[in-house]
Amino acid sequence: QQQVKQSPQSLIVQKGGISIINCAYENTAFDYFPWYQQFPGKGPALLIAIRPDVSEKKEGRFTISFNKSAKQFSLHIMDSQPGDSATYFCAASKGQAGTALIFGKGTTLSVSS
Amino acid sequence: KAGVTQTPRYLIKTRGQQVTLSCSPISGHRSVSWYQQTPGQGLQFLFEYFSETQRNKGNFPGRFSGRQFSNSRSEMNVSTLELGDSALYLCASSPDLGQGLAQRYFGPGTRLTVT
């Protein structure tokens, strides 16, 4: 019940295309869903996050779509650029102080020019 | 604002030794958590500290411990190192209040290699 399942494991997208990464969770107590971006040799950087009271959140080229009934959420990267090539992690937590982030296994995105 | 800093960035230790890793959170952030990242297991929660008290603990053996100081800086210690402890150890800080309650900002990590 604590798992967050992420797919696909790897993704190759052409420059200018849309990258889509999906995550599914089981624990209905989760109410905070962030996405992190990690470059080699760096720590994960918080990209965008959503709470279940909204179905979509957009920041620049990055959009989170959230489906509470299906217990799924996804990251869309519009107009993907070579600089977006990185590993992306979805995560979930109860959104309260002191609770752990439960991470998906990650998606390695390569944007070809 | 300066980000989360972790020292050292790289460390090589021998099986059976112990190691201490250090983390300085973002100024004003009150809680610090630690995560282990490995290719096989991904990112796993170790523990979280707030006001010098451990508030939550993950499923790791007692060889893994930590503490937080009054200035919010934190250390984690791993005793009797095993080969499987080789990993990137990440520290994350959180404002721990208001809209930032759940936000975690990660440092660059300490790469520990156990030989």
pLDDT above 70 (res B99): no
* Per-residue model confidence (pLDDT) at position B2: 82
pLDDT of residue A98: 73
Q: What is the pLDDT of residue B42?
A: 94
| A50 reaches B (C-beta below 8 A) | no
Looking at CA atoms only, how far is residue B106 from chain A in angstroms?
6
Residue B98 dihedral angles phi and psi, to the nearest 5°: 55, -140
**pLDDT at A103 (0 to 100):** 97
Contacts of A109 by beta carbon, 8 Å cutoff, 6+ apart: A10, A11, A12, A13, A19, A21, A77, A80, A84, A85, A86, A87, A88
Can you give the pLDDT at residue A94? 87
Contact B50 A106 (CB under 8 A): no
Pairwise CB contact (< 8 Å): B108 & A43: yes
B108 vs A contacts (CB less than 8 Å): 41-43
Tokens standing for A109?
């995105």
Percent of all residues in chain B with a pLDDT value above 70, rounded to a whole number: 95
Q: Which of A44, A97, A104 sits opposite B106 (nearest CB)?
A: A44
Rounded to an integer, what distance in angstroms lies between the CA atom of residue A103 and that of residue B3?
22
Collect all residues of chain A within an 8 Å Cβ-Cβ radius of residue B45.
100-102
Give the model's confidence band at B64: pLDDT under 50 very low, under 70 low, under 90 confident, else very high: very high
pLDDT in tens, A70-109: 999 999 999 999 999 999 999 999 867 778 999 999 999 9
Torsion of CA A58, A59, A64, A69, to 10 degrees: -50
pLDDT score for A66: 96
Q: Is the pLDDT of residue B98 over 70?
A: no
Structure tokens at B47: 């523990």
**Does pLDDT of B47 surpass 70?**
yes
Residue A27 near residue A92, CB atoms below 8 Å: yes
Burial of residue B36 (number of CB atoms within 10 Å: 0-12, 13-18, 19+): buried
Confidence band, pLDDT 50/70/90 cuts, at residue B101: low
Please write the tens of the pLDDT for every residue from A19-58.
999 999 999 999 899 999 999 999 999 999 999 889 999 9
CA angle B113, B36, B97 (to 5 degrees): 140
Q: Which helix (H) or strand (E) holds B92?
A: strand B87-94
**Does A1 have pLDDT greater than 70?**
no
**Residue B34: its pLDDT value, please?**
97
Cβ burial of B53 (10 Å; 0-12, 13-18, 19+) is exposed
Say yes or no: A40 contacts chain B, CB-CB below 8 A: no
Contact B33 A100 (CB under 8 A): yes
B43 has pLDDT over 80: yes
Residue B100: pLDDT band with limits 50, 70, 90: low
Q: Note the pLDDT of residue A89.
A: 98
